[in-house]
Amino acid sequence: MIRVNLLASDQQAVKAPAFSGLSANKVHLLGAGLVALCVAGAAYRHLDLQSQQANADRQLAVARAEEKRLKAVTEELARFEAQTALLQQRVALIEQLRKGQRSPVTLLDQVSRQLPDRLWLTTLRQAGADVTLEGRTTTLTALSDLIGNLENSGAFNRPVEIINSEVENGDQVDVMKFTVRATFPMGAIEPPPDATPARPGAAARPPARR
């Protein structure tokens, strides 16, 4: 005879749905947890990105402000350099004009100091550094003394040249007419502080040459 235990089958049938329902709840809970973790991770990442973006924006703002400040400083420095260059040019021009004004006075003073006895000048011309002297003398020695005095003065470049010389017959004494050319550096020699400028027409006598 075959016996079938229907009660055991009914109990198993009753227990099975309860077990299945519990497993489904765990799966749902696990899925919900995973979703919550993903949402939390995404939210954290979003907040982190926002923080980084805000930090980057602050740094960019600081960099732009510094760039603006440096640009203003650079422009101010460029204006200062331009003004400095302009002032230097003006100073150089004023100094050049001052030397140009002082040069004729220095030239006349130096020439007058070097004139020996028995010699006088009739013409003095200056064109830049070139100086031409024309005059008269009663002796050839005086002309030689003039050349030596000009070369030894330190105010004129060597050599001082005699362009021409000729004798003019006078009523009582013969007179030598001469032309001398010298080079006078503009503003190279300044008159001594205690030097008294020579009066017009006055010729200072140099020390006697031995």
What per-residue confidence (pLDDT) applies to 204? 41
For each of the chain's 210 residues, which pLDDT tens digit applies?
555 555 555 555 555 554 455 576 777 778 788 888 888 888 888 888 888 888 888 888 888 888 888 988 998 899 889 888 888 877 876 676 565 556 788 889 999 999 999 999 999 998 888 999 999 999 999 999 999 999 999 889 999 999 999 998 877 788 999 999 999 986 444 444 444 444 434 444 444 443
Dist. CA 88–CA 86, nearest whole Å = 5
What per-residue confidence (pLDDT) applies to 189? 40
What per-residue confidence (pLDDT) applies to 206? 43
Spatial CA neighbour of 147 closest among 175, 188, 119, 170 = 119
User: Is the torsion defined by CA of 140, 144, 117, 186 positive or negative?
Assistant: positive
What per-residue confidence (pLDDT) applies to 124? 94
What per-residue confidence (pLDDT) applies to 196? 43
Spatial CA neighbour of 187 closest among 98, 108, 124, 109 = 98
Strand partners, 65: none
Residue 159, helix vs strand vs coil: strand
Spatial CA neighbour of 104 closest among 177, 200, 207 = 200
Strand partners, 178: 135, 165
